[in-house]
Chain A
Amino acid sequence: MSTQIEQKETETEEQETEPEVESPGERRRAAKRQRLAEEEAQRVAEEETLDDDETVHLKVFRYDPEVEGKQEPRFDDFAVPYHKGMTVLDALIYARDRYDSSLTFRHSCRQAVCGSDALFVNGRQRLGCKTQLSALEDPVRIEPLPHQEVVKDLVVDMEHFYDQMEAVEPFFDADELPEDDLEEQRQSRENREKVKMSTRCIWCGACMSSCNIAAGDNEYLGPAAINKAYRFAMDEREGEDRKQERLRIIEQEHGVWRCQTQFSCTEVCPKDIPLTEHIQALKRESVKNNLKFW
């Protein structure tokens, strides 16, 4: 009985708060609840967690167009001793430095800001450096990002991704600047808040790799590039004319209208950017401006 009442109360509360815009705190708490739930489910599924004296079994994709024996793609197995807090990247580095120095992958900052080490781990796009091994099922299967050309082992060609980013003219163009070189433009806190999440993109390419539409349409701008367009189109410091140009770019045939709101980009984004929402927001802007749509 009491449980039911509590549930009802919760529901009512949720209904009350729903129409309001979620605060970053709420979003964060919701994301955390979800993550904890996922981790708990994982623990239950595995029935035991990793201990410090155990080994993790990696199955790593290998391919090198130049080296005999590696021209046929295959998976190599590595057993890596586990310690608490170990990430996928730590395990790859261990395997490379101790077992096979030809094992190739990109990485640099190992703190989720350089965006180098987006990988396909156990069937999902993730940053190797911020993915704890304890949250994964064993064996851990590590592959290059899907839908990208593989250069070697886990390294994919990012040129297409960069080209799409550049296609949206990803740079700030102010209408007019203060005459005094020592005076900044004013930007409201609200406006900064509005574009804040979009500015967090680290160009890792996980979103593009997870997008079904991008996989089938090579010209589709893709979530990261459209998010970049959102970042500028919504910045109040740019003028109306520039915004019109930006909308013209994103409402072209291979722009925002290709998005089928499957949310896979949002799902995999390591910086929690609400990519799908941003794409929808630009669709709305486009409609509001009475521009044609496909």
Chain B
Amino acid sequence: MYEHDVIVVGAGGAGLRAAIAAHEEGADVALVTKLHPVRSHTGAAEGGINAALQEGDSWDLHAYDTMKGSDYLGDAPAIDTFAKTAPEEVIQLEHWGMPFSREDDGRVSQRPFGGLSYPRTTYAGAETGHHLLHTMYEQAVKRGIEVYDEWYVTNLAVTDHDDPEDRECHGCVAYDIKSGKIEGFRAKGGVILATGGLGQAFDHTTNAVANTGDGCAMAYRAGVPMEDMEMIQFHPTTLPSTGVLISEGVRGEGGILYNDNEERLMFEYGYANNDGELASRDVVSRSELTEVNEGRGIEDEYVHLDMRHLGEERILDRLENILHLAEDFEGVDGLDEPMPVKPGQHYAMGGVETDENGETCIEGLYAAGETACVSLHGANRLGGNALPELLVFGARAGYHAAGKDMKAAEIDTGPSAKSEAGDVHPPVEPGAVDAGSEDVAADGAAVEPKAVIENAVEYERRRVDTLLESDGVNHAEVRAEVQETMTANVNVFREEDGLEQALRDIRQARVDYEDVAVADPSRTYNTDLIHTIETRNILDVAEAITLGALAREEFRGAHWRAEHQERKDDEWIKHTMLAWNDGTPELYYKPVILEGDEQTYEPKVRSY
């Protein structure tokens, strides 16, 4: 058994920031990651990092934009904390050497981004995430932070009290991918989940293959509610063949969207009143798909994004990476021709319910970054808000887990924050299939830390042995079943029949997963086994997304429902919460907090 004060699971932006913060507090901290830190998907972020740095801008403007962008589903304490802290986090990155793009006077550049009332997006070319990831990994190396790379955390070691709010997390179980060894990791201070996105629940996504929602699914099964899972952001500009992201920076710099008639679609058909291409991502995604659905798409699939008029110099200075992506993955030279783009799954606004300090309702268990839902992004994340989120809340989770005295959180978590029971009528009983057997460790006795971890290790060893020894279905088939139905039915446009169909398909995939088996018998670098374990996580998060989407009978932010074409503030300014409940998801609601530090945010009609 390995022991550390703080264990950070995942070593992308949020994980690295958490680890550095915990280390600053004097904790002995370890990063456990199924990749190597520099392989994390934070490296693929392109656009930038929002922070109110300049005179004329201010944190409360940033907070207001974020709340408005969230379509009033964000929690004010999270949004205010975020907007106030983002500037110091960004400048700290600069102090750590991050190669930001610069102005003539040597200061960091800022550019306009969608939904922002001020050009407050700092950036490093169109490869901001790459530089952020590497800069932070360098700082982790400088501090000598221990890294267990290519160790896949497969389960949490949590006590098995009936009420999740009484449970404690003592550590986790990880699988050494290179050797096949399964070991317990004890964390005296806390475990921080920073495992990133869940895009692999869909088959057209900007997310890496590793983004399988592991942290979300593990926390969910351990008893932490999942919050607003239906809120999936579709990015309007991804390359059609691969899902590779074309940064919003292109539109921020003045890139234009055209349909097959060479009309500037955002204006021609009145999708946006004034912001045009820089309307919110959900607005632009729907506009593009409407063009395609009404026969004005190119090859019935995509639209064009044109940046030629920006001029070669500006493109090379600020968007060079985009030229490479368009050329390598689509065979298009962005200097000579427009680039094909269509919407693709991009970001999960929902996730593991946490408070402003990154803490979940289980003591000692934290989450930060895309895995978490502190409820900053609500129903729609603004471009450039993901990177500062992982800095601000990654750091807070790290400090808190390391024992720093933090101000008590204003956001309530756990089942006791329930305001009312949920109302959803799924066509099949979700979850359920053999889920009970995978419930929290043992039988009411497991509370002593080492015993809890040993139980969890034992459970994982049995699970892996069973997977390796039996014959059956290949994970790839099950994964494809889920991904295809999610893209077909739980996409940008959603309707009741489709959502119900998706639940039936996921149910079938669960049944099929009962027979899943790993064909590769090896203990050495067994990716067959890793993907099989991941597929289980995909099943749980896909089901949660779909259930949430079926429950939320309104149109808010990224969540569009055919039968419900209005935002229903009277009924739906509340979070959809899902509790694991022995494998049968239980839906309930939690109120949104609109009272901020300096103002109460009043929902306004979306007119952009």
B565 contacts chain A at the CB level, 8 A cutoff: no
Q: Which of B241, B313, B316, B525 contacts A104 (CB 8 A)?
A: B525
B95 touches A185 (CB 8 A): yes
Q: Which of A25, A105, A153 contacts B313 (CB 8 A)?
A: A25
Q: Which chain A residue shows the least CB distance to B34?
A: A108
Instruction: Tell me which residues from 133 to 151 in chain A have a Cβ below 8 Å from any Cβ of chain B.
Output: 151
B105 touches A186 (CB 8 A): yes
- Report A-chain residues with C-beta under 8 Å of the C-beta of B127: 113, 200
Task: Say yes or no: A188-B102 contact (C-beta < 8 A), given A64-B522, A177-B95.
Answer: yes
Task: Say yes or no: A28-B138 contact (C-beta < 8 A), given A172-B96, A200-B127.
Answer: no
B242 touches A111 (CB 8 A): yes
B39 touches A24 (CB 8 A): no
Bits for B323-336, please: 1 = Cβ < 8 Å to A, else 0: 11101111101000
B106 touches A187 (CB 8 A): yes
Bits for B245-268, please: 1 = Cβ < 8 Å to A, else 0: 100000000000000000000000
Q: Which chain A residue shows the least CB distance to B324?
A: A112
B92 contacts chain A at the CB level, 8 A cutoff: yes
CA distance A11 to B324 in the complex (A): 29
CA distance A182 to B122 in the complex (A): 14
CA distance A166 to B141 in the complex (A): 8
A113 touches B43 (CB 8 A): yes
Q: Which of B36, B331, B521 contacts A158 (CB 8 A)?
A: B36
Chain B nearest CB, measured from A83 CB (Å): 9
B44 touches A114 (CB 8 A): yes
B141 touches A67 (CB 8 A): no
CA distance A85 to B138 in the complex (A): 35
Task: Say yes or no: A109-B44 contact (C-beta < 8 A), given A25-B316, A184-B95, A192-B101.
Answer: yes
Bits for A46-67, please: 1 = Cβ < 8 Å to B, else 0: 0000000000000000001111
Q: Which of A109, A132, A183, A232 contacts B43 (CB 8 A)?
A: A109
A155 contacts chain B at the CB level, 8 A cutoff: yes
- Report B-chain residues with C-beta under 8 Å of the C-beta of A185: 94-95
Instruction: Tell me which residues from 93 to 136 in chain A have a Cβ below 8 Å from any Cβ of chain B.
Output: 96-98, 100-102, 104-105, 107-116, 130, 132
Tell me which of B129-137, B187-195, B290-298, B440-448 binds A: B129-137
Q: Which of A28, A109, A183 contacts B316 (CB 8 A)?
A: A28
A108 touches B41 (CB 8 A): yes
A181 contacts chain B at the CB level, 8 A cutoff: yes
B97 touches A174 (CB 8 A): yes
- Report A-chain residues with C-beta under 8 Å of the C-beta of B107: 184, 186
Task: Say yes or no: A65-B528 contact (C-beta < 8 A), given A181-B88, A187-B106.
Answer: no
Task: Say yes or no: A66-B38 contact (C-beta < 8 A), given A111-B325, A192-B102, A199-B131.
Answer: no
Task: Say yes or no: A24-B316 contact (C-beta < 8 A), given A64-B522, A174-B95.
Answer: yes
Task: Say yes or no: A183-B102 contact (C-beta < 8 A), given A25-B312, A109-B43, A202-B130.
Answer: no
A162 contacts chain B at the CB level, 8 A cutoff: yes
B524 touches A151 (CB 8 A): yes
CA distance A105 to B209 in the complex (A): 13
Q: Which of B40, B108, B312 contacts A184 (CB 8 A)?
A: B108
Those 6 A-B pairs whose CB atoms lie nearest each other, nearest first: A172-B97, A186-B106, A102-B520, A171-B142, A171-B138, A97-B476
Residues of A within 8 A of B (CB): 23-25, 28, 32, 64-67, 85, 96-98, 100-102, 104-105, 107-116, 130, 132, 151-153, 155, 158, 162, 166, 169-174, 177-178, 181-189, 192, 195-196, 199-200, 202-203, 232, 235, 237-238
Interface contacts beyond A25-B312, A97-B474, A172-B138: sample of 6 additional A-B pairs, CB < 8 Å, sorted by A: A25-B316, A28-B323, A85-B331, A188-B106, A196-B99, A199-B131
Q: Can you offer 15 A-B residue contacts whose CB atoms are under 8 A? A: A28-B320, A65-B524, A85-B242, A85-B331, A101-B519, A104-B526, A108-B209, A109-B209, A113-B43, A113-B44, A114-B43, A170-B141, A174-B97, A184-B95, A192-B102
